[in-house]
Structure 1
Amino acid sequence: MVWYEAALLMVGGLLFLMFFGMPVAIAFLAINIVGVYIFMGGMIGIDQLVANATTSVTSFALVPVPLFLIMGELLFHTGLAIRVFDALDKCFGGIKGRLSYLTVGGGTIFATLSGSSMANTAMLGTTLMPDMIKRGYKPHMIMGPILATGGLAMIIPPSSLAVLLGSLARIDVGALLIAGLVPGLVLAAMFAATIRLQIAADPEAAPGYAAERASIGEIARALLLDVMPMGIVVFAVVGLILLGWATPTESAAFGALSVIVLAALYRKLTWAAVVKSMTGTLAVSAMMLMIIVGSTTFSQILAFSGASSGLITFATSFELNAYLILAAMFLVLIVLGMFMDQLSIMMLTLPIFMPLVGLYDFDPIWFGVIMLLALELSLVTPPFGLLLFVMVGVSPKGTRIGHVARAAFPYICCTMLLVVLLTLFPQLALWLPGLIRS
């Protein structure tokens, strides 16, 4: 079988099964069974498939994923995240569009603490949306900032998806985690500027109202008691890696431990919160690991059948500029994001993309940040962007995907602008990892 027939069978078959609603993990398993039977010698290939199942999910590099998920779940269910928002609320006073700015500021901090885009979006929607509706904010000033800031957890460390990307693409996980910090903060600043421009264009979009002003003492007390202790969690996750004192796995463990200690000190570590946190972590982790089992073998079959090398030879035969190839890869990620979840997209594309990254001499850490931004965009890409559905779920009745997508559009433009900036100035992503290495 020639390479393009093998690629069509594997990739086309997988997309076909997903199109008809088959769960991602089952679709990978089904197409893998067909692939190993055809390309790896029948039942011997099936035996190899079973052996790969254990090897693919027992990687030490995957340990931070459930630990980061535990952190986010505990912060949400113990109410520690809400305390941060209440403290920041006192700082913003009565400025116009206060709650939209609070969404960006508080959401960025929570992204630094949680590592989960879904948890970030769900928490922002359930805590801030009711008050914003009551204050008369227009829908795009409510849903846009929540959607945009929810996706920041994809690139600001700790990001569970960055850990998966690093381990699957064989990129330094610690360097990739740190590389997302500066671009993430730049993106948050862009979101705040977008809110300011929207308010300037339509002052009624975020009506002003007389907010109760907190005294300097109250603000200082709230920051000291509710925000500053969260710095322990940030230091445990980001600081330990920056200082070279811990690996990503160790820092994830310290981060989870620090959240447990803080919740206990605040007397919020209840049995109900622990059970809910562990249940949520188990559900997401199991889903991720099942997909990894299938996708690892999928990558091996593509390589074994010659599809991967054939695709690379075909792509390079056009002698295109390296950045046109990058743009094509970015576009593929966005299009796939309309129909697939982010983990499945990574599994499908990494076996093809990473050889091209090496061939065109792209820095793998820089490319990892670009890919995470593309995956963040795919979360809000109609018709099936995951965060769009989360937003509809926490919005008032009658809210449709179209309303949510229009609200997200200006913030999608911000992410696209950041991708351009990263292409022109790669040091935005590479400066911090270079600092650690030196």
Structure 2
Amino acid sequence: MTWIAASLFLVGGLLFLMFLGLPVAVAFLVINIAGVIVFMGGLVGIDQLVANATDSITTFALVPVPLFTLMGEILFHSGLAARVFDALDMCFGRIRGRLSYLTVAGGTIFATLSGSSMANTAMLGSTLMPDMIKRGYKPHIIMGPIIATGAVAMIIPPSSLAVLLGSLARIDVGALLIAGLVPGLILMAMYVITIRITLARDPDAAPSYAVERAPLGAILKALALNVLPMGLVIFCVIGLILMGWATPTESAAFGVLSVLILTIVYRKLSLSVMTKAMMGTLKVSGMMLMIIIGSTTFSQVLAFSGASSGLISYATGFGLGFYAMLAAMLVVLIILGMFMDQLSIMMLTLPIFMPLVSVYQFDPIWFGVIMLLALEMSLATPPFGLLLFVMAGVAPKGTTLGQIARAVLPYLLCTLVLIVLLVAVPGIATWLPSVMRN
């Protein structure tokens, strides 16, 4: 079978099964069994498939994924995250659009504590949206910042997807996690500027209202009691990696420990909180590991069939330059993001992209950050961006996906601008990892 036929059989078959509505993990399993029977000798190949599937998830590098997820779940269910927002809310005074700015500030802090875009968006939507609606904010100034800030958890450490990307693409996980910090903060600054421009053009988007100004002493007390202790979690997750004192796995464990300590100090630890946190972690981690089993085996079948080498030879045969090839990869990621979830996109493209990264001599960490940004964009691209549906679930009845997509469009443009900046100045992503190595 030619590489073209093998590619159509494997990739086309996988996309067709997803189009039929099969769960991603099941679609990978079905096409893997079919591929093994066709390309690897039937039942003998099935034995190899089972062995490879076991090896794909019994790796130490994947341990941070459930730990980071557990950390965010405990913060959310214990109410510690809400205390952070209440303290920050006191700092914004009577600034027009204060709740939109609060979304960006609080969402960024929660992103450094949770590592989950879905959890970040759901938390921001459920806690801030009702008050914004009550204050007369227009839908676009409510939904845009919430979705955009929620998605940034994918790039700011601790990002579970960054751990998976680093593990599967053979990129230094610690370096990739740290590399997303500066681009993530720049993106937050861009969101603040976007909100400011939006309010300058349409002041009625966020009507002013009387707010009781909190005394300076009360503000400082709230920050000291509710925000400053979160620095312990951030230090455990980011600081330990940056200083070279801990691996990503160890820092994730310290992160969970620090969150447990805080819940005990604030007297928020209970059987109910831990049960909900463990159940949420089990669901998310189980889903991820099932997809990893299927997708890792899929990449091996793809390589064994000759489809991978054929696709790579075909792609490099056009003689595209450095920037043209990077642009082509980004277009593929964004288009796939309109129809697939981020984990599936990553698993489908990595077997093809990483050899091209080597051929074109891209810096793997730099490329990993750009890929995460492209995947972040795909979270909010219609018709099937996951965060669009999360927002639709917490938005008032009658809100359409079209309204949500239009609200987030200016913030997607911010991400595109950041990608261009990273191409022009790669040091934005590579500076902190180089400091960490030294």
CA distance in 2, matches of 1:338, 1:278: 31
- Which amino acid is 1:358 matched to? S
CA distance in 1, matches of 2:177, 2:41: 40
Q: What's 1:236 paired with? A: 236
CA distance in 2, matches of 1:177, 1:226: 26
Cα drift, residue 42 of structure 1: 1.2
CA distance in 2, matches of 1:116, 1:283: 13
Cα drift, residue 432 of structure 1: 0.1
Q: What's 2:368 paired with? A: 368
CA distance in 2, matches of 1:396, 1:270: 32
Q: What's 1:87 paired with? A: 87
- Which amino acid is 2:221 matched to? R
Residue by residue, what CA displacement relative to the aligned partner does 1:101-156 show, whole Å, maximum 9, x if unpaired?
A: 00000000000110000000000000000000000000000000000000010000
Asked if 1:145 is matched to 2:126, the reply is: no
- Which amino acid is 1:59 matched to? T
CA distance in 2, matches of 1:156, 1:149: 11
Q: What's 1:13 paired with? A: 13
Give the number of aligned pairs: 438
Q: Where does 1:272-421 land on structure 2 (aligned, <5 Å)? A: 272-421=272-421
Calculate percent identity across the aligned residue pairs: 74
- Which amino acid is 1:329 matched to? M
Partner SS for 2:91: helix
Q: What's 2:157 paired with? A: 157
Asked if 1:25 is matched to 2:9, the reply is: no
Q: What's 1:206 paired with? A: 206
Partner SS for 2:90: helix
Residue by residue, what CA displacement relative to the aligned partner does 1:323-374 show, whole Å, maximum 9, x if unpaired?
A: 1111111111111111111111111000000000000000000000000001
Q: What's 1:119 paired with? A: 119
Cα drift, residue 202 of structure 1: 0.3
| Structure 2: gaps of 5 or more residues | none
Partner SS for 1:92: coil
Q: Where does 1:91-110 land on structure 2 (aligned, <5 Å)? A: 91-110=91-110
- Which amino acid is 2:341 matched to? D
CA distance in 2, matches of 1:26, 1:130: 38
Q: What's 1:266 paired with? A: 266
After the TM superposition, which parts of structure 1 deviate over 2 Å for at least 4 consecutive aligned residues?
none
Kindly report the root-mean-square deviation, in angstroms, between the aligned alpha carbons of the 2 structures: 0.5
Cα drift, residue 212 of structure 1: 1.0
Partner SS for 1:213: coil
CA distance in 2, matches of 1:374, 1:79: 31
Cα drift, residue 53 of structure 1: 1.8
- Which amino acid is 1:407 matched to? A
- Which amino acid is 2:80 matched to? L
Cα drift, residue 50 of structure 1: 1.1
Asked if 1:180 is matched to 2:185, the reply is: no
CA distance in 2, matches of 1:400, 1:63: 38
CA distance in 2, matches of 1:54, 1:43: 17
Q: What's 2:190 paired with? A: 190
Q: What's 1:130 paired with? A: 130
Residue by residue, what CA displacement relative to the aligned partner does 1:250-297 show, whole Å, maximum 9, x if unpaired?
A: 000000110011011000011111111110000010000000111111
Q: What's 2:433 paired with? A: 433
Q: What's 1:48 paired with? A: 48
- Which amino acid is 2:384 matched to? F
Q: What's 1:256 paired with? A: 256
Q: What's 2:66 paired with? A: 66
CA distance in 2, matches of 1:148, 1:320: 32
- Which amino acid is 2:214 matched to? A
| Structure 1: gaps of 5 or more residues | none
Partner SS for 1:91: coil
Cα drift, residue 51 of structure 1: 1.1
- Which amino acid is 1:142 matched to? I
- Which amino acid is 1:245 matched to? W
Cα drift, residue 196 of structure 1: 0.1
CA distance in 1, matches of 2:270, 2:50: 40
Cα drift, residue 63 of structure 1: 0.2
Q: What's 2:422 paired with? A: 422
